[in-house]
Amino acid sequence: MDPGLVACIEDGLQYSMVEYVEARGQKLAYWDTVRPLFEKFDLLLTPTLSVAAFPVGRLNPEHWSQHAWDWIRWASFSYPFNFTGQPAASVPAGFTPRRTARRGSRSSVAASRDSRSCKAAAAFRGGAAWRGAALARLKRSQGATP
């Protein structure tokens, strides 16, 4: 099993069933605050992460304090919608200013509107004017000629 998942489960064992049920109630209350957003808007487009991509195998960026399972701080754009079960899709959206890491864009939609999120992601990815130039820069940074 994933070590981070095991650590999360072990941390969760400190809570009683009453505390768990209360937390579920707070989650449902939070969901009630998010739902009206999608009654007003069809689509919410946000960055995927609050930080640039970091190496595979790390749970947090190197310069952040490390925790066995807590990734919520850098997933602050994604987590609220994952938490409430909103369908979403993430697509590449360019590079950091120094072109050292990729950035992503995430489309979130109302529950039961999965196809809308997929269509928005496909349109964004297919129409991204930066794509050709970004791929050329990536190849150059890796020592290849475009």
User: Alpha helices, DSSP H only, in 1-146?
Assistant: 3-12, 17-40, 79-83, 114-127, 131-141
Indicate yes or no: pTM above 0.85: no
Between 21 and 33, the higher pLDDT residue: 21
Per-residue pLDDT of 58-96, as tens digits, reads 888 888 887 777 777 788 777 787 788 777 777 777 666
More confident residue, 9 or 99: 9
Name the one residue in this structure whose structure tokens are 């899709």.
Answer: 89
**Residue 27 pLDDT more than 80?**
yes
Task: Report the chain's C-alpha Rg in angstroms.
Answer: 18
What residue ranges do the domains of the chain occupy? 3-141
pLDDT tens per residue across span 94-108: 666 665 555 666 666
State the pLDDT confidence band at 137, using cuts at 50, 70 and 90.
low
67 contacts 4 by C-beta, under 8 angstroms: no
